[in-house]
Amino acid sequence: SLQIAKPGEACGSVQEAVAYVHGDGVSSGFTVLGTVYNDDTWNDLPRVAWAIPPMPLGGDYRVCWCSALAVCSGPSDFAVDVGLLHVVGPVGGASATCAREGPCWVEVSGPGVAASSASIVLRPECGGPPGGGEGAFSDATAERIDVVSPDRLQAGWTRIVVASGIHQVCWAPSTDGTLPYQEYVTAGS
């Protein structure tokens, strides 16, 4: 099992779960993806992937490990530091107050958010199914995205046509329109 820890925390003594990672930042399932040749031992080693849905906010995290042969029930069981996880994406906190039928701009920041083509939409819930139905909120894709720096961008709409209320600002690393809604992460509201 893996545990995702905040950058300043040491493996084996994690005090607080990482935001947006289910199960107190612990992932127990893994998939063997094949083998990787290891020059040091002349053996083929299994290449393994753990599912960590959803990913934490953008930033750097410690990855701590507990053997599947052990009981992994508390922070002290995840004492082996296996490295650093660098998550590209928003750090949260994006916020804007927009008038219905008017223009709207919101700034999204986080490691690498503007390094690739990005998609920003307003949705009822990032990672949830699209809105719909009479009087319901429907997705509003940003009409314009300006890169401020590699870690900051601004998204704009010339006319917001959504139901009144608080909606989430959702970011995904692609603009090709093929990403499923589960790939969008919360950048703010």
HEC states along the chain?
Answer: CEEEECCCCCCCCCCCCCCCCHHHHEECCEEEEEEEEECCCCEEEEEEEECCCCCCCCEEEEEEECCCCCCCCCHHHCCEEEEEEEECCCCCCECCCCCCCCCEEEEEECCCCCCCCCEEEEECCCCCCCCCCCCCCCCEECCEEEEEECCEEEEEECCCCCCCCCCEEEEECCCCCCCCHHHCEEEEC
- pLDDT over threshold 60, residue 157: yes
**What pLDDT digit, counting tens, does each position of 41-89 carry?**
545 555 556 655 566 788 888 888 888 788 888 888 889 998 888 888 8
Mean pLDDT for the chain overall: 75
Q: According to the model, what pLDDT value does residue 105 have?
A: 92
Find the mean pLDDT for residues 160-181: 73
pTM comes to 0.70
